[in-house]
Structure formats: C-alpha cells, structure tokens
C-alpha cells in the first residue's frame, strides 16, 4: 500500500489498501454508507454491515432530487452533526456523497471507497464535489476534501470494460500534461494495464494520484496551474453532454481536438500529436464524434470556466507539458467550426 497525504486539505489517499480494512479508517461515529445500485449489486455482502443508502446509477441521478432523497433518509435514520458519510462508488457517488456531507447540518465528515478507475485517479483527489443542473455538468457544488480515500485495485475487477477504458482516458491526460515518463509507462504496458494487472494498476493509480495531488496542492482553488487538468475537457464536456460517450471517451476526443489546436497555436510537433492519437487508440479510446459545431459552441458559452468573453483553454506544447492560453470565446467558436468541418 502507498499513502499520499494532501497537507493543505488534511486528506489522505491510500492506494492499494483493501476496502475490507475500512473499519481501520472510520472514526468512532455513526456511519452511513452511500452507494449506487450497481455497487450494491456487486458488493451487497460488504455493504450490508453498514446503515446504507442506495442511489440510482448514471449522470441523470446527479441532481437535486437525489440530494433531497438522501437527506430525507439521513434524517429518518437519525443522522446528526456527528455522523460520518462513507461514499462507495465511482465519481458519481463520491461527488454526491461529498456534496450531501458538505451541506447537511452545515457539514459532516466524509470519506470514500473509490471503485472506478476514473474516480481513483481523478475524482478522489482535489476536494471538488457537486451535482449537475439540468444538462449542465457540475454547476452546483463546493470544494471540500474527504478525510480519506481508499483506492483498492481489486474493486476494478468488476468494473465494466468500457468504464475501465474511460478511466484510462483520464490517466493518459495526466501523462500528456505533466509526465513524459508516465506516457512511456502507459505506452510500454498497454496490454497488461488493460487486463488490470494488479501490481501495475497500483503503480499507475499511485503515479496518477501523485500528479494530481501535486497540482492541487499548488493551486487548491483552480486559479492557475490546476486549470491544466482541464486538458481535453472544455470541448470534451460539450461532447459528453450531447452524445452517448462516457466522460473518459469524451475527454479522449477533446484531447485530440485540443492537440489539433495546439499544432496551430503553440507549435505542438506533428510527431507528438501523432503520439497522442496513437496512445489513445491503443487504449481503445475514440478520436471522433458526431456532435455539431453549433451544439458544442452553445455549450461553451455556458462553461463555468469561462470569463466574460474569454475562456482559458489548455493546449499541449509537447508530451508532458501543457500551457494555459486565454482565447476569446468568439475565436474558439470559429476554431470549433473549422475542427468539426475537418472531421
């Protein structure tokens, strides 16, 4: 097991720890476990030891109704200010659990057992949580870190293959923006990683979490450097919200598009742009989409990361190095039209 402690957030991530050891991490408080229907189906024997609440699966449930239902159940079962919430699931469950814990009775302590690759490498670090507002992703939320996150590679064995690939989209992003060595590791071990080799997965999750931790520690409220984690996400979110692609798949398409812009705007070499596409394809991630430029552009206007008339867009200078460029939204919209016409 490897431990990463985020000093400023007083939050610890335990990579390679067994979820079965959870009792060692829970405080002496009344604990409520929150999970979704899939997690309950796979891990009911474990979950039945807790007072638990099951929410519906999928982004469509990341909304106010779910928050109200969970708060209703917590009240019914006598939760109070001294209770502890344990989210067991992917990014959906952790975002919702963290949000409920942050607002219920002005805030409870909480922790996660992170069950998807995407949540282990991304949603587990950084203290962001929240819900969607209609079709707008993560519009309502708060920065508030969990006490702990358990990332057990064993849990990934039951994760559907498509979700595994989606998680790799996010890991690959970390490599592209910050770590050429991680790029080489992914490139050299693709097959074993796709087969979830436990030792390699522990190493991989640790490396990805370390990168995100370093970035988040330097910029907890996303004022500067942390924006680089949004590589592939600005257009990716627009595509995710208007297609059947998963988060990691949409980010893969978004990274391909951002690389095309990087070639034009910050001299990303053709060979590095090809390396980006090749690695994404090796991990069976898509590069193409069928969302119209108009739909993407309508979404960009509502992006919560935009300023009044500009947007901070993340480009790649080379493998392992990203840069933040402030683009006028009108210019980005024109570029999106050109990119969509090419594909």
Ligand X SMILES: NC(=O)c1ccc[n+]([C@@H]2O[C@H](COP(=O)([O-])OP(=O)(O)OC[C@H]3O[C@@H](n4cnc5c(N)ncnc54)[C@H](O)[C@@H]3O)[C@@H](O)[C@H]2O)c1
**Dihedrals phi, psi of 130, to nearest 5 degrees:** 160, -170
What's the Cα-to-Cα distance from 170 to each of 137, 228, 233, 240, rounded to whole Å? 17, 13, 10, 14
Minimum CB–partner distance for residue 24 and ligand X (Å) = 21
The distance of closest approach from Cβ of residue 157 to ligand X in the complex, given in angstroms and rounded to an integer, is 8
Indicate the helix (H) or strand (E) that contains 324.
Answer: strand 321-328
CB of 329 to ligand X, least distance (A): 23
- Locate 194 and state its tokens: 């796709």
**92 or 329: whose CB is closer to ligand X?**
92
User: By CB under 6 A, is residue 39 in contact with ligand X?
Assistant: yes
Of 18 and 263, the one with the shorter C-beta distance to ligand X is 18
- Selected binder of ligand X within 13, 33, 53, 118 (CB under 6 A): 118
93 near ligand X, judged by CB under 6 A: yes
Which residue from 19, 47, 67, 91 is in contact with ligand X, where contact means CB under 6 A?
Answer: 91
Distance CA 128, CA 183 (A): 26
Task: Between 174 and 247, name the residue whose CB sits nearer to ligand X.
Answer: 247
Of the candidate residues 6, 9, 36, 289, the single one contacting ligand X (CB under 6 A): 36
Q: Contact 314/301 with Cβ under 8 angstroms? A: no
Contact between 42 and ligand X by CB under 6 A: the answer reads: yes
Q: Which CB sits closer to ligand X, 122 or 203?
A: 122
Nearest alpha-carbon partner for 149 in 39, 281, 47, 5: 5
Q: Does 138 bind ligand X (CB under 6 A)?
A: yes
**Residues linked to residue 88 through DSSP beta bridges, in sequence order:** 35, 113
Q: Which is nearer to ligand X, 123 or 316 (CB)?
A: 123
Contact 32, 83 (CB under 8 A): yes
Q: Helix (H, G, I), strand (E, B), or coil: what is residue 314?
A: strand
CA separation for the pair 299, 145 (Å, rounded): 28
Binding residues (CB under 6 A) for ligand X: these are 36, 38-39, 42, 57, 59, 62, 89-93, 95, 115-116, 118-119, 122-123, 126, 128-129, 137-138, 155, 158-159, 163, 166, 247
């Amino acid at each position: 097991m490897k431990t990463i402690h985020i000093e400023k957030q007083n939050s610890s991530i335990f990579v390679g720890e067994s979820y079965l050891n959870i009792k060692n991490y829970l405080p002496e408080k009344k604990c409520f476990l929150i999970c979704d229907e899939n997690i309950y189906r796979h891990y009911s024997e474990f979950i039945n030891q807790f007072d638990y609440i099951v929410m519906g699966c999928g982004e469509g449930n990341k909304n106010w109704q779910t928050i109200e239902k969970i708060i209703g159940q917590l009240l019914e079962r006598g939760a109070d200010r001294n209770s502890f919430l344990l989210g067991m699931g992917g990014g959906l469950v952790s975002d919702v659990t963290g949000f409920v814990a942050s607002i219920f009775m002005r805030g409870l302590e909480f922790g996660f057992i992170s069950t998807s690759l995407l949540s282990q490498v991304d949603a587990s670090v950084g203290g962001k949580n929240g819900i969607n507002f209609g079709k707008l992703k993560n519009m309502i939320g708060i920065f508030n870190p969990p006490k702990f996150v358990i990332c057990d590679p064993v849990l990934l064995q039951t994760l559907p293959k498509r979700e595994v690939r989606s998680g790799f989209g996010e890991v690959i992003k970390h490599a592209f923006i910050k770590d050429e060595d991680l790029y080489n590791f992914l490139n050299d071990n693709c097959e074993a990683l796709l087969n979830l080799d436990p030792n390699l997965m522990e190493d991989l999750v640790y490396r990805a979490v370390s990168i995100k931790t370093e970035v988040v520690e330097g910029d907890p409220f996303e004022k500067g450097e942390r924006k680089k984690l949004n590589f592939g996400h600005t257009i990716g979110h627009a595509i995710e919200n208007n297609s059947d692609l998963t988060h990691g798949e949409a980010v893969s398409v978004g990274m391909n598009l951002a690389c095309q812009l990087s070639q034009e705007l910050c001299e990303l070499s053709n060979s590095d742009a090809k390396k980006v596409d090749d690695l994404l394809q090796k991990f069976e991630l898509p590069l193409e989409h069928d969302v119209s430029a108009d739909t993407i552009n309508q979404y960009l206007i509502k992006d919560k990361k935009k300023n009044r008339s500009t947007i901070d867009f993340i480009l790649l200078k080379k493998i392992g190095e990203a840069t933040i460029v402030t683009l006028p939204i009108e210019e980005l919209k024109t570029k999106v039209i050109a990119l969509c016409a090419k594909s």
